[in-house]
Amino acid sequence: MRCQRLVAGLLPAVLLFLAGCGTAFPADPEGTLERVQGGTLRVGASINGEWVEFSSPSGGDLRDGDVQGRDADLVRGFAEQLGADIEWVAGTEQVLAEEIKHGDLDLVVGGLDDKTPWVTHAGLTRPYAESEDQRGKLHKHVMLVPLGENAFLLELDRYLMAAKESR
């Protein structure tokens, strides 16, 4: 059984490596968390009711003060925790999903829920809020993060869970 030996050899190797590095676990393949800490957080925002509103809905480059709403407040809190400046980008969900897929954004918000079709383009946070629409359907709200940037995602999940509890 060639396979068996390979797998049996793999486990000690993995454990040794884990014990050796011990620094960041999970780690980001593209280093998103390290880059945004004390740097710039690139956030895509899509207009959606109470979640994301623009005071000057012109699209394109936005100043920080132009974006309001529940999601915007959460993003500001998170950026503050990371010591990061926010670079807002306005766009439709589709445009923003393409951007984050290609690594041009770090976060996308806009009152998205966990049934979002953009799971092929981005990873989802844990649901941090719930709302009910006119048809009585429950929505669990999430944000989009770059695929596989697990340290960044875990940091954001922790922040969102803490924010949910303090509310």
Partner 1 sequence: MTDVKSNGGVRFGHTELPAAQQDALRKATKIEWATMGFLVVTTTLVFLVLGNSQAMKAAWIEDLLSFLPPISFLVAARMIRKLPSENHPYGYHRSTGVAHLVAAVALTVMGAYLLVESGLGLLKAEHPTIGGIELFGNTIWLGWLMMAVMLLTAVPPVVLGRMKMKLAEQLHDKVLYADADMNKADWMTAVAAIAGVAGIGMGLWWADYAAALIISTSILRDGIRNTRGAVSALMDKRAMTYDDTEPHPLGRKIDEYLRGLDWTRDARSRIRDEGHVFHVESFVVPAENSMPTLAQLEEAREACVAMDWKVQDMVIIPVAELPSEFLPGATSGGEH
Provide the binding-site residues for partner 1, judged by CB under 8 A: 1, 3-4, 6-8, 10-11, 14, 17-18, 21, 24-29, 123-126, 145-151, 153-154, 156-158, 161-162
The Cα–Cα gap between 100 and 153 comes to 14
Which 8-state DSSP code applies to residue 14?
H
Which residue, 14 or 104, has its beta carbon nearer to partner 1? Answer: 14
Which residue, 64 or 140, has its beta carbon nearer to partner 1? Answer: 140
Cβ at position 4, least distance to partner 1 in Å: 6
Please give the backbone phi and psi of residue 131, each rounded to the nearest 5 degrees, phi first. Answer: -145, 160
Cβ at position 94, least distance to partner 1 in Å: 19
Cβ at position 125, least distance to partner 1 in Å: 6
Which residue, 35 or 54, has its beta carbon nearer to partner 1? Answer: 35
Which residue, 98 or 157, has its beta carbon nearer to partner 1? Answer: 157
Which residue, 34 or 64, has its beta carbon nearer to partner 1? Answer: 34
| ω into 12 cis (within 30 of 0) | no
In DSSP terms, 114 is beta-bridged to none
3-state secondary structure of 164: helix
Cβ at position 116, least distance to partner 1 in Å: 13
The radius of gyration of the chain's CA atoms, rounded to the nearest angstrom, is 18
- Please report where in the chains the tokens 């954001």 appear, as a residue: 156
Token representation of residue 152: 């960044």
Cβ at position 103, least distance to partner 1 in Å: 11
Which 8-state DSSP code applies to residue 37?
T
